[in-house]
């Protein structure tokens, strides 16, 4: 029988010089393909691609990478999480737009929610009154441009499908 050392349970975090795992993330120090140096890839658990790849510091010997440690890993997790959060905010801003139309009777919020289906993308145009009640909803082309003018035209038309 060969003794490979202490047995590590599968759910134990990995904390090695070039691979560090925990808090739902894996940091992996890799050879930088663009130059002589090293890079670190931050991969969120369950994701196929890294959320962040950045340069990594050389060690004292100027050949090998500096080993990962707790502080570096925690900083990388914070940075990678922020990158994902910003990406999600940007995507949300692209897919969800709104404007306000003031009529003689009311102030109406008009929203456009784009559904990015690979085969048949579309958008949903919705009118909401000041009390939060839905006045109208219409399916439109994903390319529909919501602007104060297009929203006002839709409201003034009695919420007929925009052309």
- Each domain of the chain, given as residue ranges in start order, spans 19-94, 103-156
Give the mean pLDDT per block of 10 residues along the chain (163 residues): 50 85 94 84 95 91 91 95 95 94 94 92 96 96 95 95 82
pTM recorded for the entire structure = 0.67
CA distances (Å), origin 62, targets 17, 37, 66, 93, 123? 16, 9, 9, 44, 54
DSSP strand E in 5-163: where?
19-22, 25-31, 38-44, 52-56, 96-102, 107-115, 122-128, 134-141
Quote the pLDDT of residue 118: 87
CA distance 42 to 60: 23
Quote the pLDDT of residue 26: 96
Tokens representing 119? 């085969």
Quote the pLDDT of residue 11: 61
Quote the pLDDT of residue 10: 57
CA distance 144 to 123: 8
Quote the pLDDT of residue 37: 87
CA distance 43 to 77: 9
């Amino acid at each position: 029988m060969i003794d490979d050392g202490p047995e590590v349970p599968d759910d134990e975090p990995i904390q090695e010089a070039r691979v560090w795992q925990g808090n739902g993330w894996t940091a992996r120090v890799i050879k930088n393909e663009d130059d002589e140096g090293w890079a670190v890839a931050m991969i969120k658990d369950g994701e196929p691609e890294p959320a962040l790849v950045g340069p990594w510091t050389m060690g004292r010997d100027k050949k090998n990478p500096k080993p990962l440690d707790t502080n570096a890993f925690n900083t990388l997790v914070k940075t990678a999480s922020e990158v994902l959060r910003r990406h999600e905010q940007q995507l949300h801003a692209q897919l969800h737009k709104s404007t306000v139309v003031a009529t003689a009777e009311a102030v109406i919020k008009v929203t456009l929610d784009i559904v990015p289906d690979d085969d048949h993308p579309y958008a949903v145009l919705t009118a909401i009154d000041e009390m939060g009640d839905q006045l109208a909803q219409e399916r439109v082309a994903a390319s529909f441009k919501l602007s104060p003018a297009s929203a006002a035209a839709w409201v003034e038309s009695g919420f007929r499908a925009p052309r």
